[in-house]
Amino acid sequence: MTNGATPNTTTPNSTASEATDETNAGQPMVMEFIDALAPMVEVQPEATVSRTVMQVEGANVVLFSFDKGQELSEHTVAMPVLVQCLEGHLKVTGGGRTVDLVPGGILHFPTRLPHAVYAEEASKMMLIMMRR
């Protein structure tokens, strides 16, 4: 990625690279890249922390960290989302079902499905909000 890569000042672990074709209404096409997500958000004592790390066409990527016992109480989102555990162990409830989400697991919530997240241990999670 060294050829043509330019740092993205909004996310320290990411780079942007322009493609050679200009096919998006005359704008250069750009590839966004983050080489390591988990270090971009730290677990804070007795807290839940969130940080938006990428806003691109069709999606926002938000990282969360949870100290053990922290939670996101039941809520809904106005768009479909994907949730992936990066570190730790999360209990995720939605649609009348509870799953254990650990690194390597991913789940999908459709628009407005009530759901909640509970940290069984200090954990980090990636949320991808898919805009329509």
- State the CATH number of the domain containing residue 68: 2.60.120.10
Number of domains in the chain: 2
- Domain region containing 108: 41-130
Token duo for residue 74: 């039941």
**Which residue carries 């628009």 as its tokens?**
111
**Which residue carries 């804070």 as its tokens?**
44
Average pLDDT for residues 109-118, to the nearest whole number? 98
Tell me: do 19 and 76 sit in the same domain: no
Tell me: do 80 and 24 sit in the same domain: no
pLDDT at residue 8 greater than cutoff 90? no
Can you give the pLDDT at residue 119? 99
Tell me: do 26 and 88 sit in the same domain: no
DSSP-derived secondary structure letter, 25: T
Can you give the pLDDT at residue 6? 35
Of residues 28 and 110, more confidence is placed in 110
Tell me: do 52 and 31 sit in the same domain: no
Interval 70-87: pLDDT, tens? 999 999 999 999 999 999
pTM equals: 0.80
